[in-house]
């Protein structure tokens, strides 16, 4: 047990085989790509799937010893879908909720993954399942109905005497925290060095884990298209892509890293000039105040995932802006955040010309339009911040428990 403030962490070790089969294997080589509609990248193996189930049972055995009868149990993300079923098998009757941070795909897509019917069945062991958007909720409900024969009852689904509620709870961020650090960040060394380095150039910023769902090479190519179509902008803008390395033990991520480096080298080599590098690319992780300060410096953010559950960077960028002179968010229609951030320039990341034109429009946008778009986004973000999200989920979970008891 590790105490950190009001939170106690119960930690346990996994073997290297567990890590390989459960985490690098089924969770990140099969479930992650399928959930992001990349069925061609999904690599299923029975051994990995068995490892995924085994580790969930291991977690359940450890957790069951710690849970008190009145506790609410809140499980997070795709690594733990079978956890409630494993806890129920050990006799737990507590209310158990699950939040799915990534997209829930259409049943036709999820159905390509071996084991997906079992996963759907284990979803029914949660009392409440939260997803990011109404589309995700609709996809999951359709899956439960079509694949398992669950019966829809208002917001619940019934199957063999069990009832599960599926609902969207779009995750928020710590809006006021971001506003405050962003406003103070100019004194930070990295932020002030960036200001000096930029001179009169405008900054376009991207921040994404190095993951193929984030569309990093695709957005570099869209930016290249922008520079080719608008030669007068060369030397007047800099695109800073921060892409912390992620899941480097998974082969597809090594391949992505090589593809990004190749695209980056080609663009900087062909369009760069002495004294100007079109794309600055860094794979380190920066402290949150630095990110907030860089967001605030950038008149344009390029957030163009190919598919994303929500995308917190889009929300952080909006929260970090100077209200008197806000920047413009360019946002993929395939990020869950696009359902809420309607003041962004919404683009299809597969259409490089459309993204290139959005970069152009964002850089030329009038002050009045920038302020109007930003004002339309910041209010709803403040009303639905991360505290609202957690409270809304837990209130609903407690309500499910009360209904089940009564």
> Which residues of this protein are in contact with ligand GDG, per CB under 6 A?
101-102, 171, 207, 209, 242, 244, 285-288, 291, 308-313, 316
The span from the CA of 230 to the CA of 232, in Å, is: 5
Q: Return the SS3 of 80.
A: helix
Please name which of 349, 347, 372 lies closest in space to residue 358, comparing C-alpha atoms: 347
CB of 225 to ligand GDG, least distance (A): 24
Judge whether 8 and 81 are in contact, CB under 8 Å.
Answer: no
Angle at 110 between CA 15 and CA 308, to 5 degrees: 80
Alpha-carbon gap, residue 202 to 222, rounded angstroms:
17
Q: Which residues contact 297 (CB under 8 A, 6 or more apart)?
A: 191, 194, 195, 198, 203, 205
Residue placing its CB nearer to ligand GDG in the complex, 119 or 335: 335
For helices 312-319 and 367-383, angle between their N-to-C axes, nearest 10 degrees: 120
Q: Is 101 a catalytic residue?
A: yes
Question: What's the CA gap between 378 and 327, in Å, rounded?
Answer: 12
**207 or 306: CB nearest ligand GDG:** 207
Residue 198 CB, shortest distance to ligand GDG, in Å, is 19
Bridge-partner residues for 156, per DSSP? 153, 165
* Dihedral-angle region of residue 300 (phi above 0 means left; psi in -120 to 50 means alpha; beta otherwise): beta
Work out how close the CB of 378 gets to ligand GDG at its nearest, in angstroms, rounded to a whole number. 17
For residues 293 and 299, which CB has a smaller minimum distance to ligand GDG in the complex? 293
Q: What separation in angstroms does the CA of 326 have from each of 94, 97, 293, 364?
A: 46, 38, 13, 13
- Rank residues 204 and 242 by Cβ distance to ligand GDG and give the closer one: 242
Cβ 140 to ligand GDG, closest distance in Å? 16
Q: For ligand GDG, which is the closer residue by CB, 34 or 311? A: 311
* CB 38, min distance to ligand GDG, A: 13
**Annotated active-site residue in 125, 156, 308, 385:** 308
Query: In terms of CB distance, is 316 or 357 closer to ligand GDG?
Result: 316
Helix or strand holding residue 159 (H, E)? strand 156-159
Question: How far apart (Å, rounded) are the C-alpha atoms in residues 84 and 173?
Answer: 27
308 annotated active-site = yes
Q: Return d(Cα 67, Cα 75) in angstroms, integer.
A: 13
**Nearest-approach distance from CB 166 to ligand GDG, in angstroms:** 17
Q: Which of 43, 57, 101, 174 is catalytic?
A: 101
User: Rounded to the nearest whole angstrom, what is the least distance from the CB of residue 242 to ligand GDG in the complex?
Assistant: 6
- Tokens found for residue 273: 């000039």
Closer residue to ligand GDG in complex, CB, 79/88: 79
Distances (CA, A) of 338 to 36, 108, 303: 16, 23, 10
Query: Which residues participate in catalysis according to the annotation?
Result: 101, 308
């Amino acid at each position: 047990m590790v105490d950190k403030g009001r939170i106690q962490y119960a930690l346990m070790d996994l073997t290297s085989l567990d890590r390989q089969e459960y985490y690098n294997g089924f969770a990140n080589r099969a479930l992650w790509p399928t959930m992001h509609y990349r069925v061609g990248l999904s690599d299923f193996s029975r051994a990995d799937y068995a490892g995924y189930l085994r580790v969930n049972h291991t977690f359940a055995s450890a957790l069951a010893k710690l849970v008190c009868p009145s506790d609410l149990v809140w499980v997070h993300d795709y690594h733990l879908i079978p956890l409630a079923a494993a806890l129920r098998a050990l006799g737990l009757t507590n209310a158990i909720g699950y939040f799915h941070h990534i997209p829930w795909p259409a049943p036709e897509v999820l159905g390509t993954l071996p084991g997906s019917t079992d996963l759907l069945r284990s979803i029914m062991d949660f009392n409440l399942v939260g997803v990011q958007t109404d589309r995700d909720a609709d996809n999951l409900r359709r899956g439960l109905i079509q694949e398992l024969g669950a019966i829809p009852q208002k917001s619940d689904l019934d199957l063999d005497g069990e009832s599960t509620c599926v609902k969207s709870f779009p995750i928020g961020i710590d809006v006021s925290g971001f506003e405050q650090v962003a406003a103070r960040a100019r004194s930070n060394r990295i932020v002030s060095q960036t200001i000096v380095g930029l001179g009169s150039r405008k900054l376009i910023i991207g921040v994404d884990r190095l993951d193929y769902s984030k569309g990093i090479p695709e957005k570099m190519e869209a930016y290249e298209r922008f520079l080719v179509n608008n030669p007068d902008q060369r030397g007047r803008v800099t695109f800073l892509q921060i892409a912390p390395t992620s899941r480097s033990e998974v082969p597809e991520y090594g391949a992505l890293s090589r593809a990004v480096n190749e695209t980056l080298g080609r663009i900087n080599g062909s369009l760069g000039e002495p004294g100007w590098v079109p794309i600055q690319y860094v794979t380190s992780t920066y402290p949150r105040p630095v990110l907030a300060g860089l967001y605030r410096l950038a008149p344009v953010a390029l957030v163009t995932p190919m598919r994303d559950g929500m995308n917190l960077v889009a929300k952080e960028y909006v929260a970090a802006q100077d209200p008197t002179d806000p920047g413009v968010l360019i946002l993929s229609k395939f990020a869950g955040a696009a359902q809420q951030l309607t003041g962004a320039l919404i683009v299809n990341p597969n259409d490089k010309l459309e993204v290139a034109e959005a970069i152009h429009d964002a850089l030329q946008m009038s002050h009045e339009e920038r302020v109007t778009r930003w004002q339309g986004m910041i209010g709803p973000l403040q009303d639905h911040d991360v505290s609202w999200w957690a409270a809304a989920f837990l209130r609903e979970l407690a309500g499910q428990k009360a209904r089940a008891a009564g």
